Amino acid sequence: MLMSSYFFENGLHGENAHVDPLEVFEGLRWEMAGEKPVNCPYSVWQILNHMIFWQDFYLAYLKGRVPNHPEHDEDSWPDETAPSYETEWSDTLFLFSKGLKEAENEAKKDLMELKDAGLERTRGDLLATLMAHNSYHTGQIALIRQLIAEWPPPSW
């Protein structure tokens, strides 16, 4: 299968599939990022931090490093349900967008280059995993925002 950087650059932003992972946070007030609807296991804040954890994990592989895999899944989730202040929220959103930009830059490189020799995964494989993970959680965030009456984003 021939992979293209175009596929990944668009896919990282949900092109023609779902809301852009950056846009899903647009207009969400920082005070609401910690709201957890009834029977919902996570807040938007927790999901955002979980997304950053795994985004950084895969970016480390893409940059030739071998990150430490968490022993348990819950180790990739923060205990805090909400940001403590507005700048913590905006700084964390910036960190996520910065990582997404780094992934876009990785998508412009040789997608068939082996980046995880132990599991024989290529740059394209790692980007596809990151893209699917972000897509999954972007959908969760959109749903949570609907449940807390913070949807749609203002620009829609």
- With a pLDDT cut of 90, the percent of the chain lying above it is 71
Query: For the purposes of burial, counting CB atoms within 10 Å of the CB of 4, is it exposed (0-12), middle (13-18) or buried (19 or more)?
Result: exposed
Mean of pLDDT over the chain: 90
CA pseudo-torsion sign 65, 100, 26, 42: negative
Q: Is the pLDDT of residue 78 over 50?
A: yes
Looking up residue 113, the CATH number of its domain turns out to be: 1.20.120.450
Residues 75 and 59: their CA atoms lie apart, in Å, by 18
- On whether residue 152 sits in a domain, the answer given is no
Backbone angles phi, psi at 122, to 5 degrees: -90, 170
- In this prediction the pTM is 0.91
Residues of the domain holding 109: 5-147
The CA R_g of the chain, rounded to the nearest whole Å, is 16
